[in-house]
Amino acid sequence: MHVAVIGAGVVGVSSAYMLARAGHRVTLIDAEAEPGRGASAGNAAQLSWAYGDAMASPALLKHLPSILLKRDPAFRVHMRLDPDFLLWGLRFLANASARRWWSNTRDILMLAEESRQEMASLLAETDIAFHYRVAGKLHLYPDARSFAAARSTVEGKREMAIDQRMLSRPEAEAVEPALKAYQGEIAGAVYTPHDALGDASAFCRQLGDFVVRRYAVTAAFGARVVGFEHRGGRLAAVRFADRDPLAVNAAVVTAGPLIRTLAASLPEAREVQPVAGYSLTVPWQEGAPCVSLTDVKRKLAFAAIGDRFRVAGLADIAVPGSGFLQDRFSVLREAASAVLPGCFDQPEWEQRWSGERPMTPSSRPIIARSRQIRGVYVNAGHGMLGWTLALGSARRLAQMLA
């Protein structure tokens, strides 16, 4: 079967790999000149096998008034009278009950475990280099109340055989000595020793090259897809902005946050809301942490990726396509410098990046047949965990096509 994979971010490249491995003839398409330039480019690098926590939660619901009143610099919501946005917002709120949150989180964790297993086989099969490392991860809780509240989730995860440990500050400092100089509040930490990290952008380029070499995948870059041709509701070809249509038997849409540009022929695209985030990458310096850190209060994620050190954070629901805001880089830099003085003090060294998380109301990705055109499949909406969930989602997608 000839399958077009539309979008070469982490989800698209992983899908192309799984489909080609299953014996399909694959064409991997992207509007950009190379893989990994979209939401996957400068993300926080975390392969959070044990952190599948859905975004809509009772804790976020409680925090909503302060977000809407702009009292928390980590969030910005641009309210608008767009029916898709309002519907998305209502569905997001419906997912914020304790019961729905845990059910969504459990589903995400199961997918993350599938991804972890697929990562192990991919590392065994290929020689691709993307600074993959089992760095472990510490979630830093600012006060005794929030730390105590984390216990029930840790216990729930333990029942799923996920290894997470509650550590005191001295115990956390023994795991990551750089925390001795950490200026943020730490009442305790949740430690996940088996979480990994890797450069998602390098992964996309390397795996993109690998599938071309190993599985004769055809790469079509600089090619923007604008829709589909179908006969009797069955897919016939993929249509492009600037070239002839490509006849295929199936198409998998892995367009990340840009899936909305295909909404006219893909109703599922309306379930995805872009949530902008930002990152700053600087050279790693002696004394910076090596274990991945998440500052729960400030919503900051820190990662040492090869010889670089990155902070990522902020969650802005803006008008889709409105681009990034320069002042948000300063907000991120100030928050990061306040807790790790010296690491992000020299803006001339930093690499700035902004991207959009493709969020569904439940935080669970859409891995499904399209409701509108037979032969079209969707693998999108991976939100804040697309890098973590890419390989598991690709495996499920390939099973669906089989």
Ligand X SMILES: Cc1cc2nc3c(=O)[nH]c(=O)nc-3n(C[C@H](O)[C@H](O)[C@H](O)COP(=O)(O)OP(=O)(O)OC[C@H]3O[C@@H](n4cnc5c(N)ncnc54)[C@H](O)[C@@H]3O)c2cc1C
Residues that bind ligand X (CB under 6 A): 6-12, 29-32, 37-40, 43-46, 48, 224-225, 254-258, 261-262, 277-279, 301, 312, 355, 357-358, 380, 382-388
Closest approach of ligand X to the CB of residue 46, in Å: 3
Closest approach of ligand X to the CB of residue 335, in Å: 13
Residue 173 or 253 with smaller CB distance to ligand X: 253
Closest approach of ligand X to the CB of residue 394, in Å: 10
Residue 167 or 293 with smaller CB distance to ligand X: 293
Closest approach of ligand X to the CB of residue 202, in Å: 13
52 close to 105: Cβ distance less than 8 angstroms: yes
Residue 126 or 261 with smaller CB distance to ligand X: 261
Residue 31 or 343 with smaller CB distance to ligand X: 31
Closest approach of ligand X to the CB of residue 168, in Å: 26
Residue 21 or 260 with smaller CB distance to ligand X: 260
Q: Report phi then psi at 81, rounded to 5.
A: -90, 60
Beta-bridge mates of residue 274:
358
Residue 34 or 143 with smaller CB distance to ligand X: 34
Closest approach of ligand X to the CB of residue 28, in Å: 10
Residue 288 or 359 with smaller CB distance to ligand X: 359
Name the token pair of 385.
């965990």
Cα separation of the two ends of the chain: 10
Residue 386 or 392 with smaller CB distance to ligand X: 386
Number of neighbours of residue 187 by Cβ within 10 angstroms: 16
Q: How far apart are CA 392 and CA 10, in angstroms?
A: 11
Closest approach of ligand X to the CB of residue 11, in Å: 3
Closest approach of ligand X to the CB of residue 338, in Å: 19
258 close to 380: Cβ distance less than 8 angstroms: no
